Chain A
Amino acid sequence: MIKFSNVSLIYPNSTTTVLEDLNLEIDEGEMVLVIGPTGSGKSSLLRLINGLVPHHTGGILAGDVSVDGISTQFVKPGGMSHLIGIVGQNPIHGFVTDTVEEELAFGMENLNLSNDVMRKRVEEVLDLLSLAPLRNRTIATLSGGEQQRVAIGSALVTHPKVLVLDEPTSALDPIAAEEVLSILQRLVHDLSLTVVIAEHKLERVIQFADRIVYINGHGETKIGTPEQIMVDSPIAPPIVLLARALGLQEIGTTVREMRRMTQDLRDKNYQNSPTEPVAHESAPIKIDSLSVTYPGREAVKNFSTSIYNNEIVALMGRNGSGKSSLLKAIAGIAQEYKGTVDVLGVNPQSLKGKARRECIGYIPQEPSDLLYGQSVAMECKQADTDNEVKQGTTMALLEQLVPGISGHTHPRDLSEGQRLGLALSVVLSSNPEVLILDEPTRGLDYQAKRELVSILVSFAQSYDKCVVLATHDVELVADLATRVIFIADGEKVADGNTIDVLLSSPAFAPQVAKVMSPHPWLRVSDVTAAIELS
């Protein structure tokens, strides 16, 4: 169905080739997963399929890409629209109309299909993706998962043979992600649709993939079944790391397979090292009966909690459950709220300038919002001057967090993970007492996530400070958080130790816990530690 023959790709003004001599044939009805570190060219590979690269982006392409016998050399992306449906990284940026129905019809209108065909197909897709109750809604008011479904639906209405998705679940909570992925799997099985996906969160998609294409970022690619690629891939989900740590002979990619392989292991008795309760001295953040309201909607309802020193608190919950609003209230930028928020004894709304920097560090959903310098070096220098610290402090911090960034680089040219690192070092250079992060792992690969975990853990523990983060990433929470607060519809549903909260809900349990249930282990390191102990 899709054929890459001797494809090489290089962008102008770039020293590294994105792809080098790639040969790949994808059959009809196959689900192919594209993996690789951030910035390695996964998106480029996807966009080659319908010719957006190089028609839209420039770049030098050697070799040939063809879909169903049509080469992208001679046909522009528009000419492929009946054959290929493509869903971008941020579906909201690609919506052309305002309401769900109109968005679904847009692609067919362009193909000049007759009105009754359009009506039928819109109904079909509304049913297929269970979008019928949303048909007249304004797209901007939908939740992330719903928007993702609309984007997939509007790619499907033209009855394409190939569906291409760039990180379809990165912005979704675990349940919405599962919903989207199971729809995709059904399409592959029922309609024999060919699906190509790029995704960082392998734990979510690997069980659906027939084959994996691994791109290392220097032009080399590796193609094989998940089992073949996962034997030595540096990018691997926790389940594979577990198999490697236990020295299993085969690599399982689903929880079911892994449970079969670890049957004997689980049957033994283990002594778990008792976790001693940590005594908390002071609570830098105190929230008392907080309610945040927007016009027509209550985002946070009567929320009270205290967050102590040394704690890393993860806020979890569905898309739109009020996590960001809560974080904004703690940071002092929520417009209107009732109740009291108290950070280190003051109302965070009253903090300004240097006092604010020293009290609260905040990383927004888009870390680039914080950056305005023309180069990394300028950005760091500005932070040094602002915080009256020795010149070079921020740069040194950055080097420690994300080594190897040249000071001359423009922040825009950094990868997602590097940009987060820069924003973090700018914020940390003022040594804040409280650090707040809003969805820090969007677009981060496993390597960048591991670095983030070690930075945050050392920040909280060695400096005795507290960290609050909102995230959908269950595996990150398992690795990082000491406490989890679960929010639904603005209300606190659960609040407790990470292990208790995560194990109490199957949807939010990390992979290791699912495999090792009923043993209370969240991480690979928990498992190996317990085995060594006994």
Chain B
Amino acid sequence: MNKPLLHPLTWWIWAGLLAIAIVRFESTVLTVLCVGAVAGLVFWLREDAPWGRSFAWTLKLSLWILFIRTAIGTLIGVPIPGNTVLNLPIVQLPSWMPGIRIGGAVTSERLTSAISEGILICAIILIFGAAASLTSPHRLLRTLPVYVYEFGVSVVIATSALPQLVTSVTRIRQAQMLRGQSLRGFKSWKRIAIPLLEESLARSLELAAAMDSRGYGISPKRSRYRPIQWGYLDSLVIVSAIAVVGLS
């Protein structure tokens, strides 16, 4: 199937609007439904390119965030009265930290509020992750005006480094596995992170040098070989997102 080529800003505007809608919904069910729809859209539309895979990684990341957010939300904070689900021992804190409690009774109210807040955060991360995986970072850069040149360089590098990171992680994990390293626990992350950071840094510098030597940003005006046009599909996507905001 020939996938429609949209304006690179479309999905980012769309993501921003959806994020507004989700915050206004104040409903976990609608938020989850919305994220589900977004995920479906991503798997339908994404290209087979490095950035296309970044959604799966945002998914993993947001599950971690949800887990940590829920754990912290239930363990630390102001107690909410209600049905007690389980009782944890209270950690004694020094007297100069009044009002904060670690442990204690976990009520179902507290649990639900922690989870729904976590879901909200994750939903917003996921929606922007979807925008990132649907738009080529390179095309995005080309829509930026030249006077934000320094900014443009950093955006290109950041956005092309992230998907690059995903491919590099896979490669380095494979190599380390072959060295017979068990890749579990926190320690293994150090083993991946060091070659990874090193490589991304070197690559970013190389890309910046390449852009510079090809004259990026030297002329105050840039011409366009294939002007990026705003089509009716782009309007359609944005209108649908505005409609969702209107409904909320």
Q: A88-B206, A97-B142, A140-B50 are in contact. Are A118 and B180 (CB under 8 A)?
A: no
B187: min CB distance to chain A, Å: 10
Chain A residue contacts of B224, Cβ below 8 A? 109, 115
- Centre residue among B50, B182, B190, B212 by max chain A CB count within 10 A: B212
Q: Does B25 contact A (CB under 8 A)?
A: no
Q: Mark B188-210, 1 if CB is under 8 A from A, else 0.
A: 00111011001100010111111
Q: Which of B16-24, B76-84, B167-175 contacts A (4 or more CB under 8 A)?
A: B167-175
Q: Mark B215-234, 1 if CB is under 8 A from A, else 0.
A: 11111011111100000000
Pair A426/B179 contact, Cβ less than 8 Å: yes
Pair B223/A368 contact, Cβ less than 8 Å: no
B85: min CB distance to chain A, Å: 40
Chain B residue contacts of A426, Cβ below 8 A? 179
Pair A97/B138 contact, Cβ less than 8 Å: yes
Pair B180/A352 contact, Cβ less than 8 Å: yes
Q: Mark A354-378, 1 if CB is under 8 A from B, else 0.
A: 1111001010101011111010000
Chain B residue contacts of A110, Cβ below 8 A? 214-219, 222
Pair A369/B208 contact, Cβ less than 8 Å: no
Pair A112/B221 contact, Cβ less than 8 Å: yes
Q: Mark A254-296, 1 if CB is under 8 A from B, else 0.
A: 0000000000000000000000000000000000000000010
Q: Does A98 contact B (CB under 8 A)?
A: yes
B151: min CB distance to chain A, Å: 15
Chain A residue contacts of B2, Cβ below 8 A? none
Q: Does B156 contact A (CB under 8 A)?
A: yes
Number of A-B contacts (CB under 8 A): 164
Interface residue count for A (Cβ, 8 Å)? Answer: 68
* Closest chain A residue, CB of each to CB of B182: A353
Q: Does B178 contact A (CB under 8 A)?
A: yes
Pair A140/B180 contact, Cβ less than 8 Å: no
Q: Does B136 contact A (CB under 8 A)?
A: yes
Q: Which of A24-32, A60-68, A78-86, A310-318 contacts B (4 or more CB under 8 A)?
A: A78-86
Pair A84/B213 contact, Cβ less than 8 Å: yes
- Centre residue among A84, A360, A369, A370 by max chain B CB count within 10 A: A369
Pair B214/A154 contact, Cβ less than 8 Å: yes
Pair B172/A96 contact, Cβ less than 8 Å: no
Instruction: Give residues of chain A (487-518) contacting chain B, Cβ–Cβ below 8 Å.
Output: none
- Centre residue among A56, A93, A331, A333 by max chain B CB count within 10 A: A93
Q: Does B29 contact A (CB under 8 A)?
A: no
A465: min CB distance to chain B, Å: 17
Chain B residue contacts of A111, Cβ below 8 A? 215, 218-219
Chain A residue contacts of B142, Cβ below 8 A? 97, 102, 109
Q: A56-B209, A78-B213, A78-B215 are in contact. Are A114 and B178 (CB under 8 A)?
A: no
Q: Which of B175, B210, B216 contacts A93 (CB 8 A)?
A: B210
Pair B175/A108 contact, Cβ less than 8 Å: no
Pair B171/A364 contact, Cβ less than 8 Å: yes
Pair A94/B206 contact, Cβ less than 8 Å: yes
* Closest chain A residue, CB of each to CB of B192: A372
Pair B49/A98 contact, Cβ less than 8 Å: yes
A352: min CB distance to chain B, Å: 7
Interface residue SS majority, chain A: helix
A331 to B179, CA, bound (A): 11
Pair B138/A360 contact, Cβ less than 8 Å: no
Q: Mark A364-403, 1 if CB is under 8 A from B, else 0.
A: 1010111110100000000000100000000000000000
Chain B residue contacts of A353, Cβ below 8 A? 180, 182
Chain A residue contacts of B199, Cβ below 8 A? 366, 368
Q: Mark A70-102, 1 if CB is under 8 A from B, else 0.
A: 000000111111101010101001111110011
A483 to B26, CA, bound (A): 69
Pair B210/A94 contact, Cβ less than 8 Å: yes
Pair B194/A81 contact, Cβ less than 8 Å: no
Q: Does B139 contact A (CB under 8 A)?
A: yes
B143: min CB distance to chain A, Å: 12
Pair B180/A96 contact, Cβ less than 8 Å: no
Chain B residue contacts of A113, Cβ below 8 A? 223
Q: Does A158 contact B (CB under 8 A)?
A: yes
Pair B206/A369 contact, Cβ less than 8 Å: no
Q: Does A50 contact B (CB under 8 A)?
A: yes
Pair B225/A114 contact, Cβ less than 8 Å: no
A49: min CB distance to chain B, Å: 10
Chain B residue contacts of A82, Cβ below 8 A? 215
Q: Mark A126-157, 1 if CB is under 8 A from B, else 0.
A: 00000000000010100000000000001100
Pair B216/A78 contact, Cβ less than 8 Å: yes
A105 to B179, CA, bound (A): 43
Q: A84-B213, A111-B219 are in contact. Are A369 and B172 (CB under 8 A)?
A: yes
* Closest chain A residue, CB of each to CB of B210: A94
Chain B residue contacts of A441, Cβ below 8 A? none
Q: Does A189 contact B (CB under 8 A)?
A: no
A155 to B182, CA, bound (A): 45
Q: Does A457 contact B (CB under 8 A)?
A: no
A427 to B181, CA, bound (A): 12
A84 to B178, CA, bound (A): 43
Pair B178/A360 contact, Cβ less than 8 Å: yes
Q: Does A40 contact B (CB under 8 A)?
A: no
Q: Mark A430-468, 1 if CB is under 8 A from B, else 0.
A: 100000000000000000000000000000000000000
Pair B206/A158 contact, Cβ less than 8 Å: no
Q: Does B177 contact A (CB under 8 A)?
A: yes
Q: Does A107 contact B (CB under 8 A)?
A: yes
B217: min CB distance to chain A, Å: 6
Chain B residue contacts of A338, Cβ below 8 A? none
Q: Which of B178, B208, B218 contacts A364 (CB 8 A)?
A: B178
Q: Does A122 contact B (CB under 8 A)?
A: yes
Pair A109/B225 contact, Cβ less than 8 Å: yes
Pair B225/A122 contact, Cβ less than 8 Å: yes
A141: min CB distance to chain B, Å: 9
Pair B223/A118 contact, Cβ less than 8 Å: yes
A207: min CB distance to chain B, Å: 29
Q: Does A52 contact B (CB under 8 A)?
A: yes
11 CB contacts below 8 A, A to B, read A56-B205, A56-B212, A77-B212, A78-B214, A81-B218, A110-B222, A140-B49, A155-B214, A368-B198, A369-B171, A372-B176
The 10 closest A-B pairs by CB, nearest first: A81-B215, A94-B210, A105-B225, A369-B175, A357-B180, A78-B218, A110-B215, A372-B191, A362-B178, A112-B219
Q: A111-B215, A333-B178 are in contact. List 15 more A-B contacts (CB 8 A).
A: A56-B205, A56-B208, A76-B212, A80-B213, A96-B138, A96-B211, A105-B225, A112-B219, A113-B223, A115-B223, A154-B214, A366-B175, A368-B199, A369-B176, A372-B194
Q: Contact residues of A with B, CB < 8 Å?
A: 47, 50, 52, 55-56, 76-82, 84, 86, 88, 90, 93-98, 101-102, 105-115, 118-119, 122, 138, 140, 154-155, 158, 295, 328, 331, 333, 352-357, 360, 362, 364, 366, 368-372, 374, 386, 412, 426-427, 430
